Structure formats: C-alpha cells, structure tokens
Amino acid sequence: MQQLDLKATAALAAVAGVLFGMPAQAQSLSGIKVGEEISSVPKIYATPLPSRSTNPHEERLWKLPDGNRLSVATDPETKRIVYAEKKWSGGANGKPADFPGFVYGETTLADIRAHAQNNGFAFKERLVEVRPDGLALFNAYEVEGVPGVVVTFVTKLSKKDEERLRAGKANVDINRAARLDTIILADAGYLDTIWGRAKLTHKAYKPIRWELPHHAALASR
C-alpha cells in the first residue's frame, strides 16, 4: 500500500483514529475464533479465493454469501488461527457486523470510541493507510476477558473527505466521517510481528468489552 506522505501525516495527527450457516459467536468473526485449530473450524459455506503466503503464515480467503470477504491466517507449527479479518463488500446484505451493535458503513469512529469509552491504541506502522478510495484508520483494543486477543476496527474516510482534509480548505470531522469498513481479530503477538511493536496508546485506555448488549445503541450523529 502507498505510504501516507509527511504533509498528510501532519494533517492527520489529530487522528493519533448467516455467513457460515450458523449465528455469530462472542469474540469471533462468523464463528472463527483466534487460538482454535483450523481443523476444528466448521465448514465454510463460501467461495474460496486463492490463498496467499504472509511469511511464514499462509492466509486463506473466502468470499462470503453476503459479498463480504473473510481472510484467516494460521500458525504453520500449531495450525491454530492467529488472524481473522472480515471486510465489508459495500453491499446492504453485508452491513451487520459481528461486533454487537456495530454496522458496516454506518458505525462511525465516534461510535466505536463511545462504546469503548476510549480511543484504544494504534500500531505506529499501521496507523493510517492510503487506499484508492480514501484513507483507512486503525483503532485496536485488547478484548476484555480474552487474554492475548486484539480486535482492530478499521474505519474508512472517503476519497472526497481525504481530499478536503489534504487541501485544508474545509473542516472534516474525522470522528463522524470515518465509518466502519473492516474488523480484525488477531493474536497480539502475531500483530506485533506484522505491524511492529511500537504503539500509540490513549491515556484513558482500557480493553473493550465484547458481549451482547441489552440495547445496541450508537452515539448520536
């Protein structure tokens, strides 16, 4: 991916911001849990895509029935899952997210921060990513009650808002403009190997709670 140039980094300094035929489970993406053996994963009723090597891990990919894409990486020695990622296709059918109360394309960065009651932490090497259709922002949290597991919410700022931000001619509220695009659930140690150990952590940081809420409410827009 293209790296964010220094000017854009400075402008964004304020930021540092039934797929398997079964119901989604707590702390999982479509039933996929970090730490379980890949052989124990239920049959995936989805279209397999070409696998790719991530040295030394092999990543398997699928296109799910709702259009979303799922990728899973396993440890070559233990055969246990160390990384799972679900990316929104942009379609209405794939909007419901595995994290309770969150909706792809609708849940904002402000909503995520409000739910977690803090801004989480970010890997310095994976803070912001420039994409053809805009900017991706990465906010990570340890999952409360699940030692060694980290959930990362990737929110996306549209290309139009990115251009406005770069030009400095209009005020862009990143908290409200960036919307959920991808959820990553991964082993903390594995993330350190692919994204680096250096992190930026919010002063009020605490792990996020992943459980079914009595009321799924988003922050007011």
11-44 burial code (b ≥16 CB/10 A, e <16): bbeebbbebbeeebeebbbbbbbbeeebeebeeb
The C-alpha atoms of residue 116 and residue 125 are separated, in whole angstroms, by 23
**Percentage of residues in the chain having pLDDT higher than 90:** 65
Banded model confidence at residue 26, pLDDT cuts 50, 70, 90: low
Can you give the pLDDT at residue 6? 34
Q: Is the pLDDT of residue 14 over 50?
A: no
Residue 2 identity: Q
Can you give the pLDDT at residue 218? 46
Can you give the pLDDT at residue 212? 63
Q: Is the pLDDT of residue 44 over 90?
A: no
Q: Which residue has the higher pLDDT, 4 or 113?
A: 113
Question: Residue 152: which residues within 8 A CB-CB, separation 6 or more?
Answer: 138, 139, 140, 141, 183, 184, 185, 186, 191
Can you give the pLDDT at residue 121? 98
146-142-180-20 Cα dihedral, nearest 10 degrees: -20
DSSP lists the bridge partners of residue 156 as 136, 179
21-57-2-127 Cα dihedral, nearest 10 degrees: 80
The pLDDT tens digits for 62-118 are: 999 999 999 999 998 898 999 999 999 999 999 999 999 999 999 999 999 999 999
Query: β-strands 81-87, 128-131: how paired?
Result: unpaired
The pLDDT tens digits for 137-184 are: 999 999 999 999 999 999 999 999 999 988 887 789 999 999 999 999
Q: What do you get for the CA distance between the two ends of the chain, in Å?
A: 31
Share the mean pLDDT of the chain. 83
Banded model confidence at residue 131, pLDDT cuts 50, 70, 90: very high
Report the candidate in 93, 111, 95, 84 with the shortest Cα–Cα distance to residue 176.
111
